Amino acid sequence: MTGSLVLVEPGVITILRLNSPPLNLVSQEMTADLDAALAAVEGDAAVRAVVLAATGMRAWSAGSDVKEFSSLRGRVGEGKLTKENAVYDRLAALELPTVAAIEGDALGGGLELALCCDFRVVAESARLGLPEVRLGVMPGSGGTRRLPRLIGLARAKEMILLGETIDAATALDIGLVNRVAASGRAEAVATELAEKLASRGPIGMREAKRLLNATLDVAASEGRSRELEASERVFASNDMLEGVAAFIEKRNPEFKNE
């Protein structure tokens, strides 16, 4: 995708790279390019994990392109948020495990994008926040939905209603991120994590992620039924037999996603 605002670097570990430095602002054009990048990933059976990275060190993504706001008055849903939410939800629903490699600040719509990933690795010098209320607006691409699920309602209200940024250590302490890396090392650490995820059984990984994503939206009895159905699918796979054989033979499994 030459010239795209989201580059696709294919491989077993595919890297999707926001490519509009120095701020990597979430514009309508970037959203469209991210949608195309996700379609490419979904169509590649060789991919086992995805790292969402960015070009530059100043900001992973400093959020929405504020210059677009005045033209969206009275039609923000039609002009921006409907499509943005659809693309963000597409990332969150991706069957593959996803890791955000946050080198530099992740603010506003940028942090909302990171919240769509399964894991977040952040550089120790980065700042994170949802400062929209300080601009007279509010998070509109999943922040009010996803942040409370990660860090609890009280912490989410503090971040969103105050609009203040937090440092990497605080983000780790409250459960917003999974790893803190030395500055300049976020992508390397995220890739190492993605490699571990890619080595796990892809069928079991897919089913487990789907159930985890739905767990807060279904009753316990329905969740149990879904878990049993998923387990039947996993136990019907050749990957399950390979995993058991590798365990007994004390070797690394060679999963084939079948």
3 state DSSP class of 120: strand
Return contacts of 234-238, CB within 8 angstroms, 24+ apart. 234/201, 234/203, 234/204, 234/207, 237/203
User: Quick one: CA torsion of 28, 209, 108, 5, rounded to 10 degrees?
Assistant: -30
3 state DSSP class of 157: helix
Active site residues: 112, 132
Distances 104 to 8, 25, 43, 193 between C-alpha atoms, Å: 20, 13, 30, 19
Q: For residue 252, count other CB atoms closer than 10 A to its CB.
A: 8
**Nearest-10 crossing angle of helices 202-214, 220-235:** 170
Q: Could you tell me if 112 and 203 are in contact, meaning their C-beta atoms sit under 8 angstroms apart?
A: no
Q: Could you tell me if 165 and 126 are in contact, meaning their C-beta atoms sit under 8 angstroms apart?
A: no
Q: What is the DSSP string of 202-227?
A: HHHHHHHHHHHHHGGGS-HHHHHHHH
3 state DSSP class of 128: strand
